[in-house]
Amino acid sequence: MLSEQGKRVDALVRATLDAAGLDYDRRREGVYFVTLPGTRKLQTNCWLIAREHSLAVEAFVCRRPDEAHEDVYRFLLRRNAKLYGVHYTIDSAGDIYLVGRFGLDAVTEPELDKVLGQVLEAADGDFNTLLELGFATSIRKEWDWRVSRGESLANLKPFEHLVRPESPHTPGSLTSD
């Protein structure tokens, strides 16, 4: 059961999400599962959880990188210096999240809107970079497989520069019928 301040934050969260037109599911008092729409990352799922003294924000960004872990983590640490209200972290499996925690007194509609905007900007804006750094080999394999089967490359176009030059289907060599 939430305190009076927690109930105020619960009502404020609901009003903020409604005003922003965001899809969400109120799981119980003070617990919201929010879907933030994106362009590179089609959606970012985000938890907002009111606790006794704080509001927690947690958003899944990307699974554990397959490769170049040091490069990925260096990128995340450098990016943390530029984020507002949230920061990158990893869980015990190595999956990448954005998290933040705010005192209930600090939670206002403009502040919550700003933090949700930062979650979306970071998750969506950094998504392709994280894929390039941590999944380049998988992207190349997927490119080769799609080309061999005549499948669409539309959602791989942002990664066209990763295709090996020695590949028989180098970027720009594909023709459309």
The DSSP line for 73-122 is HHHHHHHHTT-SS-EEEE-TT--EEEEEEEEGGG--HHHHHHHHHHHHHH
Residues 153, 159, 161: CA angle, nearest 5 degrees: 110
For the domain covering 4-134, report its CATH number: 3.30.1460.10
54-62 β-sheet, strand order: 23-28, 31-37, 43-50, 54-62, 96-103, 87-90
Q: What is the pLDDT along the chain (177 residues), one digit of tens a residue?
A: 788 888 899 999 999 999 999 999 999 999 999 999 999 999 999 999 999 899 999 999 999 999 999 999 999 999 999 999 999 999 999 999 999 999 999 999 999 999 999 999 999 999 999 999 999 999 999 888 988 999 988 888 888 888 855 545 444 444 333
**What residue segments make up the domains of the chain, in order of their start?**
4-134, 137-168
